Amino acid sequence: MTVTWEELGWERLADGVGRCRLPGWDCTAGLVLGADAALMVDAGSSLDEGARLREGARRLAGRRVTHLALTHPHFDHVFGAAAFPDAEVYGAYGAAGTGALFAPGGQGRQALRADAVAEGLDARAAREAAEALVPVLHEVRGEHALDLGGGRRVLLADVGPGHTGHDLAVLVPGSPNVLFCGDLVEESGAPQAGPDAVPSRWPAALDRLLAVGGDDALYVPGHGTVVDAGFVRAQRDALAARFGVSR
């Protein structure tokens, strides 16, 4: 029996492309379907959330998720990653080594766990997710094309630093283009700049996003509703003013 995106609580953005706005932190996870493969963009904030995304993707795609792109190394985007044990995992260049994030017992894992608990995630769920984090096997430096089959090609672009030191965007070419931005773009609130942000380079990262997506793309923020290029430009200018970055 065929199931629709809407029946599973997902938002269809284009043919074979959709996203799910997750509860709690209103974090976006994306799904891109090809004839031979399926790409998940971000994995949710816990193993349970990742498992729900995996099951939704399986029902929509009729197959397992084969590729997982992590837009940046924050708990609400990566803590569900271990729910996709067979997926090829991609991140921006340098993400795998961020504070020994993916090394067992590494300080990066402990920092993510502490941040998750401070933000309200159950302490046990945070510990389990931190301990189970899967490694980024493929670091993207510049751009990398994925062929998902049936003419579906996806572009992974290392567009940071900005929101973090390692920000990855995912472009799905089409009519229109769909660009998953991670937290370089936020709609449901002001962009969050934590201790790992690189404010001086964030506006330039948004310039790179705009160059990758184009004027007519759908820009999918890490949190909030889908926006257009005008919104991204306005947020770029606001961030430049906020952080005192000359343009």
Question: Rounded CA gap, 206 and 67, in Å?
Answer: 25
The confidence band for 56, taking pLDDT boundaries of 50, 70 and 90, is very high
In the chain, pLDDT over 70 holds for what percent of residues? 95
pLDDT of the residue at 111? 87
At 109, the pLDDT band (50, 70, 90 cuts) reads confident
From 228, 72, 88, select the one nearest 157 (Cα to Cα). 72
Q: How confident is the model at residue 146 (pLDDT cuts 50, 70, 90)?
A: very high
Confidence of residue 246 (pLDDT cuts 50, 70, 90): confident
- Arithmetic mean of pLDDT, 193-217: 96
Q: What DSSP line would sit under the chain, residue for residue?
A: ----TGGGT-EEEETTEEEEE-TTT-BEEEEEE-SS-EEEE---SSHHHHHHHHHHHHHHHSS---EEE-SSS-HHHHTTGGG-TTSEEEEETTGGGGGGTTSTT-HHHHHHHHHHHHTT--HHHHHHHHHHPPP--EEESSEEEEEEETTEEEEEEE--SSSSSS-EEEEE-SSS-EEEEEEEEESSSSPP--TT--GGGHHHHHHHHHHHH-TTPEEEEEESS-B-HHHHHHHHHHHHHHHT---
- What's the chain's Rg over C-alpha atoms? 17
- pLDDT greater than 50 at residue 100: no
Average pLDDT over residues 236-244: 96
Helix axes 107-118 and 123-132, enclosed angle (nearest 10): 150
Average pLDDT over residues 63-67: 95
